[in-house]
Structure 1
Amino acid sequence: MNTIQSHHRHADASPPAQTYAPVGSASGAPLGRRLYEADVFFYQLGAPDARRCAALDALEHDGTYRHTLDELVAGAQWAWRNNSRCAGRAFWRAAQTVDARHCASAAEIAGACFQHLHRAYNSGRLRPLVTVGPPLDPDGRGFRILNPQLISYAGYRNDDNIVGDQANVGLTRTLQRLGWQGSSTRFDVLPLLIQTPERQLEWFALPPETVHQIPITHPRHPAIDELGLRWHAVPTVSEMSLEIGGLTYPVAPWSGWHTGDEIGVRILGDTRRYNQLGVVAAALGLDTHVEETVRCERAAAELTTAVLHSFSAAGVRIAGRPGVRSAVRDTADGHAPAGQWRTASASRTSRHSASAVPTLHRYDDDRPELRPGFVQQPCPPLDRLGIDPAPTNDTALENIRTP
């Protein structure tokens, strides 16, 4: 593994662990709930009574226990299946699990993340992968990755203008205060920002060989090629914790593959991200007298076409929405009880092809209590990271999360 350079800083004094849970949600969960989740997990797993009782006894008296590798793999796969917002959850059985619970430093966590990106890329044949770091200790302390994804692009605020990814303005500003300096381009790859159990912040630049970027080109409209758009190949969610059987793993990056309109519509086209639909419409020479929403829909369709074409030409796995939604529908039909579908999921329905897919009138119940599961961790405020907030309205790292 390449030598990993660490850049760190200790945060200011913070409230005691019993009143402030810096990572994860299970650290503040009642013991009774954690025991119940463990009991249900081992029952579903079909574990011998001796193993179940031993784990419950350790959890009750020591505040933790250790999963076997088989238990960890099963829990990670079930968590993937239970994530109703993941378009790729239909492939949960194929998800591979890497055991990184031995990591004892931020540098080792970063190294495991770099290995994750290498293994997940698989020469363009992306494989679903989960890397599981050490769990929270009995006092609720543990490592945490503060980036929304292992590969994230910077967002620079210049007066009223933002260069780059608007979703990452807060994270970018935090890293700059810790000593990182980017090139102020639209696609500067951010370092990993890791918080240690001792509330130390360390950042690690991603090795270039772990970041595979795809230039966006169009098969019929060279004007789109000239916009200089790109996106990375391996989407890896890193801000969520993994909860299995009453234990919380706050470092558990998981990756699948992109869909075309996820990049074209929800990232490059979204007004809260790169806001490129107007630029694409102008590049295509679309009639400005046509209603703006119509032009944007056409621009979104062409941008998504460019994304699919570019990834395919580069030999990198990507999915079109209709195929993904059919798989998701089949997965839901096989696992969801009647009445579970309640709230619409925007991540499943494209703005420019909604009526063409089978999930248009299907509704998801997020059921956040379903375990095992990937759980959104609370966003740490700037003052608890030991960094003075900037003179703006967002005094917390609210922009760390991807909308």
Structure 2
Amino acid sequence: MSNPLLDALTRAVDAAPDDVTLRLHLAELLMTDGQQDAAVSHCAVALQHDPSNAEARVLMSRAMGVPSAQPAPAEGDVPTHTGKGFDWGQAESDISDVAPEPMFVDEGAASDPSASAWDVESSTVTLADVGGMTQVKERLNAAFLAPMRNPELRKLYGKSLRGGMLLYGPPGCGKTFIGRAVAGEMGAHFVNVGLADVLDMYVGTSERNIQDVFRLARDNAPCVLFLDEVDALGQKRSMTRNSGMRTAVNQLLTELDGAVTSNEGVFVIAATNQPWDVDPAMRRPGRLDRTLLVLPPDAEARESIFRHHLRHRPVEGIDLRRLARATEGYSGADIAHVCETASEHALLDGVRTGKARMIGMGDLEAALQEVRPSTGPWFDSARNVVQFANEDGTYNELREWMRKHRKL
């Protein structure tokens, strides 16, 4: 015999399918009437509309026969089967025809609860792999590597096993590569964090991401934490109109201080193309208190970069010294592009003639006519800074280099 009340409520739910409260009321009455399967279907639909609804989860567990002693899951929890309680994985299977998308069990998270959004790498690159840049290597040795290699002297002079350095210069000049080389020299882990890995549109998420990445670095100490595009992540708060961005900068400053948890064994290397846009508080002593200018590679470095990018290609008659002289002002990325373009020249010639040939100087010289240095716009921006915004002498080294190379 049909139940008039259930019939009326069913018609009401059909007329208002998005009314979760009404649907759950119907599910509870169906359970009372012994129609468990129908109740499960309604609970599943309710959870499709409101996945975090605690009442729907409780009703679902009751309808599917969870023992009464089983505690109800808290709102926001993702229960998993422990072998003693309710099997949420089986629940997904039972209602798959009603709710095909998983609502209770996140399989990826359950399979690897320690998974992180950032990779912890073991760098095999060392400073020996960095061509030229003698001054950069000397500064890195003084700031990071010498204290690490001499623990007795470090203890004698009270040098802490932590630190921060800001690398700045034109794009494509090897700042990330240098960060990996420092990690390789130290035998430390390397965590590379970009802007897109941290910033989020939702309030509070960026701050939590920053906190998580520093926690990951501390858990894997000794570790080099490389913060790329730090001018966007640590932008001057006076230039930031978005309150969310200001709080993200505040969180980054707090983590750099190690105010809550010690940063011992965590070496923070930040990189930027726009150091003048970085919040001054980021460069306070104890944070990114050392600055290192990474300029376009010198002749020795350019020769090494050409050698590196041509070593696995079929080449003949290559004059590396001549190429190095012809690429004054080119960044490392520019030189890589030159080698790639030269390879394309030889490849296309082989396609036209039907016969493969070696890459020669003619191909590289033709590539140099196509690929121009990309560092010019950066020096145009830097020129105004070193001339009119260098009262404290922060950019004296850059100013001297630009004068020497007639860019000022």
- Fold shared per TM-score above 0.5: no
The structure with the greater share of residues assigned to helix is 2
TM-score by length of 1: 0.27
Which has the larger strand fraction? 1
Q: Which protein has greater RCO, CA pairs closer than 8 Å, 6+ apart?
A: 1
TM-score using structure 2 length: 0.27
